[in-house]
Structure 1
Amino acid sequence: MIEYDILRGPVVTEKTTLQKELLNQVTFKVAKDANRVEIKNAVEKAFNAQVKQVRTVQVKGKTRQRGRIIGKKKDWKKAVVTLMPGQRIDFFEGV
């Protein structure tokens, strides 16, 4: 798999912003079949940053209801990547 097939995009929330500032961790939405080693290699290749640790979580899609119609959002996989001290990944620099 190519690194852009593995990394689907960043997860930007209040919690992930705090993790980035305090713990030097970045959160990504990743392919469901990607493992920790593939995710680590993809982040190092795409952002030119050294990775210390990768944690993955299978996120269950939420059930949504609109009137009588009930639907479900897709399940997805989240990876929390801890970077080595002194390393940074900036998504929205200069915005």
Structure 2
Amino acid sequence: MSSVGVIVSPHITEKAGVLEKKGEYIFNVYPRTNKQEIKNAVEKTYGVKVTKVNIINIPAKRKRVGKHMGHALAVRKAVVSLQKGHAIELMPR
């Protein structure tokens, strides 16, 4: 899989901002990607050295829309740790 088809978007929240100070970044990724593909995509896209990748799978939830039941989509997130001295500028300061 190419690096374009791995990372959906950076996951920007308050918690992600706290982790960013520790050198960890959170990305929404496609469901069928593995850790090695995510590592290669981040290194190629942002030009940094990745030391560790953790994956979080959030299952789909059933949601009510009026009288009909639907579902919220499942989400897969990757927490990427970078080598000391490397950083990614996700949000302009």
CA RMSD across the alignment: 1.2
Aligned to 1:34: 33
Q: Post-superposition, which runs of at least 4 consecutive aligned residues in structure 1 deviate over 4 A?
A: none
- Shifted more, 69-78 versus 47-56: the winner is 69-78
Q: How does 1:8-87 map to 2 (within 5 A)?
A: 8-21=8-21, 23-87=22-86
TM-score, length-scaled by structure 2: 0.92
SS of match in other structure, 2:9? strand
Partner of 2:7: 7
Identity of aligned residues (%): 30
The unaligned stretches of length 5 or more in structure 1 are: none
State the AA in 1 paired with 2:64: Q
Task: Name which of structure 1's ranges 70-79 and 47-56 shifts more when overlaid on structure 2.
Answer: 70-79
Gaps of 5+ in 2: none
- Structure 1 residue 92, shift from structure 2 partner: 2.2
- Report the alpha carbon displacement of residue 68 of structure 1 after superposing the two structures with TM: 1.3
Matched position secondary structure for 1:81? strand
Q: Residues of 1 paired with 2:72 and 2:85: CA distance?
A: 37
Q: How many angstroms apart in 2 are the aligned matches of 1:81 and 1:16?
A: 11
Query: TM-score under structure 1 normalisation?
Result: 0.90
